[in-house]
Chains A and B, each alone.
Chain A
Amino acid sequence: MKSPLSFFGNSAAADAQRIRQLQALTLFKELTARELRELEELLHERSYEKDEIIFDEGDAGLGLFVVMSGRVKVSSSHAALQRLGPEFGPGDYFGELALFDEAPRTARAVALEPTQILALFRKEFFLLLERDRGIGVKILFELSRTVCLRSRKLVLQEQHLPTV
């Protein structure tokens, strides 16, 4: 039965393409097609122009962002982050700390070129954790790995963030 709201959705080909795109992202690489479809329901796609602010230092952090295309520069008034001045490209994700606590953002993220981003909202992620722990565990494991690597790099004052 075709849903009257199906105009909101995509065709089968577009759906398959979308799942392939998501599977290519490091954060979701362990997820099966069925799990990606579940997750896709919760992801919000946003487009940013060059120099557009994605979030600002001091904003209430509500979720993480995954770069689909384009580049994002992160700058901060905090010395350690200022020195690193990280950039994120396709497949990278940032703002992950907002998934774990409600503290204000510690940096500003700006699009360096026209950028497509997927946002995962903390509260929706928690719902997903309640609903399907399998998906949650896979994402959380990947997130923990990245947080560990980034913390190590920050402590060691290395100039480049690891490939994520």
Chain B
Amino acid sequence: MSSESSPGVLTWLATVVATCLLLFFFQKILWLVVPCLLALVLYYCLRPLMQALVRAGLKHRAAARVVAGILFLATVLAVVLLLPAVASHAADWKAIMLNYLQGGLDFAKRTEELLVQKLGLLHRSFLGSPEMKLDAISEKFADNYLGSFLLQMMHWLPSLLLMPYLTYFLLQDGNRFKKQLIRGVPNAFFEKTLLLVDRIDRSLQNFFVGLMKLTVLDTVCLALGLWLLGISFPLLLGLIAAVFAWVPYVGSIAGCLLVVLVAATDFPTQPGITYGCILLFLGVRMLDDFVFLPLTVGRSLRIHPVTSVLMLFLGAAVAGPIGLVLVLPVWGVVALVTEMLGQIFTDPRLIKRFRQAKQLRMRLADTT
């Protein structure tokens, strides 16, 4: 009988090294990793719908086609509707972005002045002249940022259109693919491998579906709070901030900064609203940690908070921003695999059985 002992130092080290190597590799083939990852997210989110269709009487393949058809139509509609709007308003973005940046810098400057005035702690300006910095950004914006941003979008478009296609084949052939994978495993490790594949499948499903639920909950809470504070585009801002929060810790701060910029620009003479936004983010953060996370993502990846933070630093160092996003799910899967491999290779019964089967096959090969 296999005892499920906690992983040792070697297993832990192997997990760290394998995670770093995978992130490094993923960064090199990002054009493929991003659609595959999104397809995986969609697969786990749409699988319950497909199963419901199967329960309703549709054949497995037909259900996969119906679900993939809906997804494909939604993607095409989104591209057809959004792309012209995005392209036609590209020039306005510059003005909007600079306006909000200016608002944010003004807010920071006013806060700094208030601190100097009230506390007398700061004697020199940390921010310099915000106007000078913005002028520099404004001059280079069209040359340095806008063109390359649009090019990047066009570059990613075909890759992202791959996503519904991949999702369809995952829905249709996911089980068969899993079976083929398991077929190659020696008999001695067959049951353990089944268990491993099942654990990975469940962990990823809990993680991705939980993440989507968490995004919806965060969006609703933030949008409601921002709407009550009177901020413009509360739903859009809430959604962007909730998506930013996919990157643990860092993402929440980035989302908060974005909303602060908008609030400081929309209400330059009412700093109370900007502080209100910061308080709202802190409140939603606490709700996330104590209520939403346990209800949604939970302990699906079984990662200790300290390990999470360390791995985020490591992920960022190895693969930059994409490392920040990918490091936790990759770590979760790699940890499961290394833990299970550790259990298999330290189980003398399984090793003995594997060797016995190998000898039997060798003997058979000799006699035939």
A residues at B contact (CB < 8 Å): 3-6, 8-9, 34, 37-38, 41-42, 44-56, 58-60, 62-63, 104, 119, 121, 123-124, 130-132
How many B residues, CB 8 Å from partner?
31
Q: Which residue of B lies closest to A49 (CB)?
A: B360
**Chain A residues whose CB sits within 8 angstroms of the CB of B173 once the complex forms:** 3, 5-6, 8-9
A62 touching B194 in the complex, CB below 8 Å, given contacts A3-B172, A5-B177, A9-B176: yes
24 contacts between A and B (CB under 8 A): A5-B169, A5-B176, A5-B177, A8-B173, A9-B176, A38-B54, A38-B60, A44-B179, A48-B187, A52-B356, A53-B353, A53-B357, A56-B349, A58-B1, A59-B1, A60-B191, A119-B190, A121-B191, A121-B194, A123-B194, A123-B198, A124-B198, A131-B54, A131-B55
Please tell me if the beta carbons of A46 and B176 are within 8 angstroms of each other in the complex: no
Please tell me if the beta carbons of B187 and A60 are within 8 angstroms of each other in the complex: no
Q: Which residue of A lies closest to B57 (CB)?
A: A34
B51 contacts A by Cβ under 8 Å: yes
How far, in whole Å, are A4 and B166 apart by their CA atoms in the complex?
11
Q: Count chain B CB atoms within 10 A of each CB in A38, A45, A46 and give the residue with the most.
A: A46
Q: Select A44's contact among B194, B353, B357, B364, beta carbons within 8 Å.
A: B194
Minimum CB–CB distance from B350 to chain A (whole Å) comes to 9
B195 contacts A by Cβ under 8 Å: yes
Q: Which residue of B lies closest to A53 (CB)?
A: B353
The number of residue pairs between A and B whose CB atoms lie closer than 8 Å in the complex comes to: 88
19 further A-B pairs in the complex, CB-CB below 8 A; given A4-B169, A8-B176: A3-B173, A5-B173, A6-B173, A41-B60, A42-B175, A44-B182, A48-B187, A51-B360, A53-B353, A56-B349, A58-B1, A59-B2, A59-B191, A59-B349, A60-B191, A60-B195, A63-B194, A119-B190, A121-B194
Minimum CB–CB distance from A12 to chain B (whole Å) comes to 13
How far, in whole Å, are A18 and B54 apart by their CA atoms in the complex?
21
**Chain B residues whose CB sits within 8 angstroms of the CB of A104 once the complex forms:** 1
**Chain A residues whose CB sits within 8 angstroms of the CB of B356 once the complex forms:** 51-53
Q: Select A62's contact among B188, B195, B364, beta carbons within 8 Å.
A: B195
Interface secondary structure of A, over-half rule: mixed
Minimum CB–CB distance from A6 to chain B (whole Å) comes to 8
Q: Per-residue 0/1 for B311-333: is the Cβ within 8 Å of any A Cβ (1 yes, 0 no)?
A: 00000000000000000000000
B183 contacts A by Cβ under 8 Å: yes
B residues at A contact (CB < 8 Å): 1-2, 51, 54-55, 59-60, 169, 172-173, 175-177, 179-180, 182-183, 187-188, 190-191, 194-195, 198, 349, 353, 356-357, 360-361, 364
How far, in whole Å, are A5 and B181 apart by their CA atoms in the complex?
13
A54 touching B187 in the complex, CB below 8 Å, given contacts A34-B59, A41-B176, A59-B2: yes
**Chain A residues whose CB sits within 8 angstroms of the CB of B364 once the complex forms:** 49
**Chain A residues whose CB sits within 8 angstroms of the CB of B177 once the complex forms:** 5, 8
Minimum CB–CB distance from A153 to chain B (whole Å) comes to 26
Q: Select B191's contact among A9, A52, A62, beta carbons within 8 Å.
A: A62
Q: Which residue of A lies closest to B347 (CB)?
A: A59
**Chain B residues whose CB sits within 8 angstroms of the CB of A53 once the complex forms:** 188, 353, 356-357
Minimum CB–CB distance from B249 to chain A (whole Å) comes to 34
A52 touching B357 in the complex, CB below 8 Å, given contacts A5-B176, A131-B51: yes
How far, in whole Å, are A147 and B159 apart by their CA atoms in the complex?
53
Minimum CB–CB distance from B364 to chain A (whole Å) comes to 6
**Chain B residues whose CB sits within 8 angstroms of the CB of A54 once the complex forms:** 187
**Chain A residues whose CB sits within 8 angstroms of the CB of B357 once the complex forms:** 48-49, 52-53
A44 touching B183 in the complex, CB below 8 Å, given contacts A62-B194, A63-B194: yes
**Chain B residues whose CB sits within 8 angstroms of the CB of A9 once the complex forms:** 173, 176
Q: Select B175's contact among A41, A46, A50, A63, beta carbons within 8 Å.
A: A41
**Chain B residues whose CB sits within 8 angstroms of the CB of A6 once the complex forms:** 173
Q: Which residue of B lies closest to A133 (CB)?
A: B55
**Chain B residues whose CB sits within 8 angstroms of the CB of A42 once the complex forms:** 175
8 closest residue pairs by CB, A with B = A5-B173, A58-B1, A49-B360, A41-B175, A104-B1, A62-B191, A8-B176, A123-B198
How far, in whole Å, are A59 and B187 apart by their CA atoms in the complex?
14
**Chain B residues whose CB sits within 8 angstroms of the CB of A58 once the complex forms:** 1, 349
Please tell me if the beta carbons of B349 and A3 are within 8 angstroms of each other in the complex: no
Q: Select A63's contact among B51, B191, B353, beta carbons within 8 Å.
A: B191
Minimum CB–CB distance from B156 to chain A (whole Å) comes to 23
